[in-house]
Amino acid sequence: MILVTGANGQLGQCFQKVSAQFPNIPFIFKNATELDITQYAALRKTIQTLRADTETLWIVNCAAYTAVDKAESEPQKADQVNRIGVKNLARICAEHQLPLIHFSTDYVYHTKQNTPFQETDTVSPKGIYAQTKMAGERAALKANPDRTMILRTSWVYSEFGHNFVKTMLRLGAERDLVKVVADQIGSPTYAPDLANTVLHIYQLVQNREVALANLSGIWHYANEGVASWYDLASAVFEYSKLPCKVEPIATREYPTPAQRPPFSVLDKSKIKAAFGLEIPHWRVSLKNCLHELGQYA
């Protein structure tokens, strides 16, 4: 059985969607109102009850404080969810010897490095969101060291929630021109690809093709390929045939309360080798997303 927390967020909704392709896996989806990860006692009770009913229970934590810029003025709120909430989950998982799958961010890599980051590379999170996500990773690995899988991912989008691709589709329908930052380089991630990968890994473990002990630690997942936000916006308009032009601008022309890393491409060699994954290129997955949104022309 898999318990998905934060189930009404973007990634949580993607788990709900792709779960239909895994009819053999029982799922429990809990949104923020139904299960608040910052409320230790209630969280523990829920997990204990589920644990009593099933031999196999995995916790997939999609709950997070993700308002990157707002976090600068709400540091305690971000810390509550991204560090304390994650620590709560990890403590309860340790108590019951349960695997915890948790998601983190490429924003931990805010350095001058300009080659793809490996999981062992130096981190330097800047800004409250990135720092609280980093603190959450550390708290989870400390509390539940043998069974915590941290998946660092980047530039997540899908047909659900708020994300860059949906914003571009909206702006592209309203305007003739959008200006988009061209000097931040990363890898877009289609959230259903990430959700599918987690469920694939769950099955590999259930089928004893991979040992549970091999999951713990930090892993990278993003789609293949590299892009700037300008490249991504241009591809959205090209594939949806929206007649909107894109003008490349510099980060300094679009100031935000929280700084973003200039380069945060994730090296995915480790996860591909460990689980035999073939990861789709971001352009292929972007077309899939636009198709799902009825916007692929």
Ligand X SMILES: NC(=O)c1ccc[n+]([C@@H]2O[C@H](COP(=O)([O-])OP(=O)(O)OC[C@H]3O[C@@H](n4cnc5c(N)ncnc54)[C@H](OP(=O)(O)O)[C@@H]3O)[C@@H](O)[C@H]2O)c1
State both tokens at 94: 């340790």
Closest contact distance (angstroms) between CB of 207 and ligand X is: 27
Residues 120-159 that bind ligand X (CB under 6 A): 133, 153-156
Candidates 143, 229, 159; CA nearest to 195 is 159
> Which CB, 154 or 184, lies closer to ligand X?
154
Q: Which of 2, 3, 4, 5 binds ligand X (CB under 6 A)?
A: 5
In angstroms, what is the minimal distance from the CB of 297 to ligand X?
A: 25
Q: Which of 15, 29, 58, 103 binds ligand X (CB under 6 A)?
A: 103
Task: Specify the residue, 14 or 244, whose C-beta has the smaller distance to ligand X.
Answer: 14
Closer CB to ligand X, residue 211 or residue 292?
A: 292
Residue 275 contacts residue 205 (beta carbons within 8 Å): no
Tell me how far, at minimum, the Cβ of 235 lies from ligand X, in Å.
17
Sign of CA dihedral 220, 221, 227, 231: negative
Q: State the residue number with the nearest CB to ligand X.
A: 9
Q: Is 105 in the site for ligand X (CB under 6 A)?
A: yes
Which CB atom, from 189 or from 240, has the smaller least distance to ligand X? 189
Instruction: Return the range that interacts with ligand X (CB under 6 A); candidates 57-65, 200-208, 276-284, 286-294.
Output: 57-65
The span from the CA of 5 to the CA of 265, in Å, is 27
Stretch binding ligand X (CB under 6 A), from 1-9, 205-213, 253-261, 264-272: 1-9
Cα 76 from Cα 72, distance rounded (Å): 10
Identify which range of 29-37, 168-176, 230-238, 283-291 contacts ligand X by CB under 6 A. 29-37
Quick one: tokens of 132?
A: 């609280």
Interface stretch with ligand X, choices 4-12, 117-125, 247-255, 257-265 (CB under 6 A): 4-12
| Residue 166 neighbours by CB under 8 Å, 6+ apart | 157, 159, 293
Stretch that binds ligand X, among 31-39, 87-95, 211-219, 238-246 (CB under 6 A): 31-39
CB of 125 to ligand X, least distance (A): 12
The least distance separating ligand X from the CB of residue 114, rounded to whole angstroms, comes to 20
Q: How far is the CB of 23 from ligand X (least distance, A)?
A: 24
| Pattern 69-88, ligand X, x by CB under 6 A | ------------x---x---
Residue 240 touching ligand X (CB under 6 A)? no
Q: Which residues are catalytic?
A: 129
Number of residues engaging ligand X in binding (CB under 6 A): 26
